Chains A and B, each alone.
Chain A
Amino acid sequence: MSIEIDSITLRDSGPVPRTTSSALSSLLARLNTLHVISGTHALGSLVAGLASLGREASATAEGALVREALLSTRIGSNGEALWSVLGMDDASSIFPPSPVLDDLRNDLSLLVAHDLDAALVDIDLIEPAESLGPLREPSRVECIDLVVGMWAYSTEITGIINEVVAATAVDRVRAPDPSDLSGPVLR
């Protein structure tokens, strides 16, 4: 007999509690580490992390339909051709995936935290100018530029992909498959 519930609890997943301080430590560690690893590694881990997220998302109802719809269009075949010819498949396979969603969630939590000022005291940050050197004429970039830019970037991607998926006839209901009746009831 099923028990109906009306609440879900979000808890810490490991020994490190999610606080403003620990989220800030995570961001600082990533920023500091950027000065001592190669750009190839950083980008490769991000790509591998996004691909890992895509595989996980493909196991969800919406993600499975998006994947199936995209694969049925030129995006699927052209993407595969680019991936293979440019060697992205080999390159991305050797980098450990970054936990991109955990990082994003922790970074977002900093933007809405009430106790950020207190956490910002006593941080240990490597001066970027010393290790990077002059890359271009200084042009001030504000945090809000990045946030709005990420919104615009994700809106562009979401709009394009949703348009492609909407134009693709993918069944949201499938009739019983006799060989599948004994399968697990999971997503």
Chain B
Amino acid sequence: MSDDLTGWLHDLVWSIGPVAPGSAIAAQGIAATVGKSGGTAVVDVEVVNEQQAAVAAVFQPGVMRSDDGHVWYPRVVARSTSLFPALESRRLTIEIAVPSTLPPSSYRGTLGVLAIGGHLALEVEVVDGELRDSP
């Protein structure tokens, strides 16, 4: 019985990742950006790591939806970083491809990291592809 209990405890310790410290995302408001159909949209945010250990965090956008019901599965073209050193801030830019078939509209979704609780609300205003870049 004692051996059973010990074995069960060892199994439990293995399974739950003993005292595995984790991370959580704290963010309020919405990260907003603009992208052209057929081009890209760039999300640009400062990531502040308040933890005393570095965090490897691959930020990913979730499924985006427009008010009229269009659903967009955004693809990340490039990320500036996925490693956030302890007690440091780093600028994170994520370039997202905007399909040419995506109708101009305001799309809302989230920006988060797998297995890290919390996320940032994300809004991408998709405009006509012929619109000129701002200077």
Question: Interface residues, chain A, CB within 8 Å of chain B?
Answer: 2-14, 16-20, 22-23, 25-26, 29-30, 33-34, 36-37, 41-42, 45, 53, 56-57, 59-65, 95-99, 101-106, 108-109, 112-114, 171-178, 180-181, 183, 185-187
Contacts and interface: CB of A to CB of B under 8 A. Distances in A.
Interface residues of B, number: 75
Given A22-B19, A187-B110, A113 B56 contact: no
Interface in B112-126: 112, 114-117, 119-121, 123
Contacts of B61: 60-61, 187
Contacts of B24: 10-13
B15 to A, nearest CB: 4
Given A96-B16, A187-B110, A61 B60 contact: yes
10 contacts: A5-B27, A9-B50, A17-B21, A25-B19, A26-B19, A36-B7, A56-B114, A98-B14, A177-B69, A186-B110
A9 B57 CA distance: 12
Contacts of A175: 69-70
Contacts of A36: 6-7, 10
Given A108-B54, A108-B56, A109-B54, A3 B21 contact: no
B135 interface: no
Given A10-B25, A37-B7, A99-B20, A18 B53 contact: yes
B68 A176 contact: yes
